[in-house]
Chain A
Amino acid sequence: MTRLSARSWRIIAALGFWVLIIVAWTVGGSTGLAIAYTAGAWLAAFSLQAWRRQDEFEKSAQKFSWMFGGLFGLLISLALLPAATQPGVISPLIGWVADALQAQDPVTPAFVLGAAYIALGQLVGFSVCWVGWHVSKR
């Protein structure tokens, strides 16, 4: 099992994660949230295993992409913050997060959304940079 390739571990990580997320969404409530966290732990554990099996070329791609793509994604997210905080842009999303977390106050889901916004910006930056890196190395 430990000789599975990095790609196999990534597939296991992704498949398991999405199956658990769908189950969490279906179940809902506190149990659903616990299942969602299990999905996150699954993804983290098997992604780490995939990382260990990757060769240095792919590790370089991910390091470079997270460093430059992630940082630029973060900067662009910060630069777009005034637009994101315009009335009507985030309030529907805050409502959706409040339902998912079953929050009693408006502040906690907004706080969570803010953190997720930054993470998403970095993820987009990372993905774009990763693709660009691989294209440049052909």
Chain B
Amino acid sequence: MTIRKLPPWAFTLISLGPALALLPFVKIVPSEAVLILSGIAIIWSVAFSCLSWRRLDEPSRAAHVSGWLWGGSSALFAILIAVGVMRAVPGASQPLVDFIDAFSKKHPAGETGFVFGVLAAAMVQAIGYFTAWLIWWGKRR
């Protein structure tokens, strides 16, 4: 089977492969080698995601666009609410602080917190995106 005949979901899996393989090696301050490999993994992901996109039909594209628009932006809004709760409710942020502090022994707390903030936001958006994508298809069964 040539690469052209692969279905869109196969392209998605191929695009994520290198990134997932690098996950065990990611640290708060990764080595230069891991940084370079991560950069290559991102470029690889983008390239195969574009190929996957071109193979998608119109409704599938509409599902992804709708998923990212509503899921991604709702997730950002949810993060904003969570920040407000952490600020307003005494002790609400303590579990988060304790969790991040466990990783802060070798690196400054600020740097660790920042990286966790970035990853948490990206993850929440990914969850929001996937949820909205499922809802889009669920409504059209």
Contacts and interface: CB of A to CB of B under 8 A. Distances in A.
Chains A and B directly touch (beta carbon < 8 Å): yes
A90 B110 CA distance: 8
A82 B120 CA distance: 17
Given A107-B96, A109-B113, 15 more contacts: A40-B80, A74-B122, A75-B42, A94-B113, A94-B114, A107-B113, A110-B111, A112-B83, A115-B117, A115-B120, A115-B121, A117-B117, A118-B122, A119-B76, A119-B79
Contacts of B46: 75
10 contacts: A66-B73, A78-B118, A82-B30, A102-B87, A107-B93, A107-B97, A110-B109, A110-B112, A113-B113, A115-B117
A63 B110 contact: no
B30 to A, nearest CB: 8
A91 interface: yes
Task: Bin chain B's interface residue count.
Answer: 35 or more
Nearest to A101: B87
A117 B30 CA distance: 20
B109 A111 contact: no
A64 B109 CA distance: 38
B115 interface: yes
Given A75-B42, A78-B122, A111 B72 contact: no
Nearest to A71: B68
Interface of B: 29-30, 35, 39, 42, 46, 64-66, 68-69, 72-73, 76-77, 79-80, 83-84, 86-88, 93, 96-97, 100-101, 104, 109-122, 125
A25 interface: no
Nearest to B76: A119
A117 B125 CA distance: 14
Main secondary structure of the interface of A (DSSP, over half): helix
Contacts of B104: 107
Given A78-B42, A118-B122, A90 B86 contact: no
A71 B46 CA distance: 10
A107 B39 contact: no
Contact of B113 (A30, A63, A106): A106
B106 to A, nearest CB: 14
Interface in A88-138: 90-91, 94, 101-103, 105-119, 122
A33 interface: yes
A70 to B, nearest CB: 7
A82 B96 CA distance: 23
Nearest to A33: B87
B66 to A, nearest CB: 8
Contacts of A118: 117-118, 121-122, 125
